[in-house]
Amino acid sequence: MAFAAVLLFNYWAAYQPLSTLAYSGILLALFGLANLAIPFGFLRIRKRAVGALLLVGGVGLTIAALIWPASMILVAQHRTVLDDVMPEFQFSERHSARIHARPEQVMQAVRQSTFGDMKSLLTLLKIRGASLRTPSNATSALSPDKLILDAFSVSGYVSVSGYVSGGSEHELVMCGGANVRAKHPLAVRTFEECRDYREPSAIKVAFNFNVEEAGGGWSTISTETRVVATDDSTRTGMSRYWRLIVPGSGLLRRQWLDGIKKKAENMPNPPS
C-alpha cells in the first residue's frame, strides 16, 4: 500500500517524502483499524492486537509527517522571473510537458486555459469543503469557460512576464496570497510589493509557466508553484495543509498542462 502511494505521488506531483509518509500512515492506520475489527486471516493476522499496533503506528506516522517543521529554501542563482518574485519559500511543486507547437502558441494557450481544463476541480473543492466542514462557495463562480488566469487576477494576484533577471521571454508569473488571520487577499499591486511582503499571518503564493523551444517544432513547458508562510504559526498550519493537498494539487496541474497542450497543438501554424 505504501509503495502504491509512492507511485501515485510520483505520477501526480513532484515526489515529496513527508506527503507520502502522511498518506502511507493514513493507509496503515485504516488497515490496522480493519484488522482491529476483523483480523485478516488470509494475511496470517490472527490477533486484534496486531491491528491495534498497526493503527497506533499509522496514526503516529501521519502525525509525525504532518507536524514536521518546514525549512526555508533559498534560490542560489536567479535564472527565471519566478526566482526574482519568490527567491525563498518553504513549499513547492513542479510539473512539465512536451508540446508539439511553437513557444508563442503555447503561451497563447496558457492565457486561454479555462477551468474546464481542470476536470477534477469541483470534486476536489467539495472534498476539501467537507473535510474542513465549511461550505464551498467558490464552486458556483467556477464556470468551465472562465479563464483561469483572469480568476487569479480578480482574486488579487499580480502578473509579470518577460525578462527581469535573465528569465525566459516566454515566462509568465503570478503572485498573490492571503492573510489567514484577517481572511482577505494580500493588498499588493506590483510584483515588487508581492516579493517584499512580510506581514505576519500571511501565506504568499507564486507560480509560473515557462516555455522553451525544444527543436523540431516542439516546446517544453514547465510550471512551478512556490509558497511561503510569513510567521511560525502560519507555517505550522500550512505544513499540514500542503502535505495533505499534494495529490489533488498535482492532479489539477497535470490536467491544466494537458488542456494547454491540446489548445496549443490544435492552433493553426502561423504562415512562414
Residue 163: the pLDDT is 46
Mean pLDDT in residue range 149-161: 91
Q: In Å, how far are 15, 44, 64, 126, 270 from 247, measured between CA atoms?
A: 10, 32, 19, 15, 38
Residue 92: the pLDDT is 95
182 confidence band (pLDDT: 50, 70, 90): confident
Residue 183: the pLDDT is 87
Average pLDDT, the chain: 88
Residue 164: the pLDDT is 45
CB count in 10 Å sphere of residue 62: 21
Residue 57: the pLDDT is 95
Residue 137: the pLDDT is 56
CB count in 10 Å sphere of residue 22: 23
502535505: which residue's cell? Answer: 243
**Residue 234 pLDDT > 50:** yes
The string of pLDDT tens digits covering residues 250-263 is 999 999 999 999 99
**Residue 70 pLDDT > 70:** yes
134 confidence band (pLDDT: 50, 70, 90): low
The string of pLDDT tens digits covering residues 187-208 is 899 989 999 999 999 999 999 9
Rama region for 208: left / alpha / beta (φ>0; ψ in -120 to 50; rest):
beta
Residue 1: the pLDDT is 67
127 confidence band (pLDDT: 50, 70, 90): confident
Q: In Å, how far are 47, 64, 215, 233 from 68, measured between CA atoms?
A: 32, 6, 43, 13
Judged by average pLDDT, the poorest of 19-33, 82-96, 216-230 is 19-33
Decide: 220 and 47 in contact? Cβ < 8 Å.
no
132 confidence band (pLDDT: 50, 70, 90): low
pTM over 0.75: yes
**Residue 165 pLDDT > 90:** no
- The H or E element containing residue 268 is none
Mean pLDDT in residue range 119-125: 88
Extended strands (E) in 60-156: 73-74, 88-89, 91-99
DSSP string, 136-178: -GGGGG--TTSBHHHHHHHTT-EEEES-SSS--TTEEEEEEEE
- Comparison of pLDDT for 7 and 222, the residue scoring more: 222
**Residue 239 pLDDT > 70:** yes
Classify residue 226 by burial, with Cβ atoms within 10 Å: 0-12, 13-18, 19+. Answer: buried
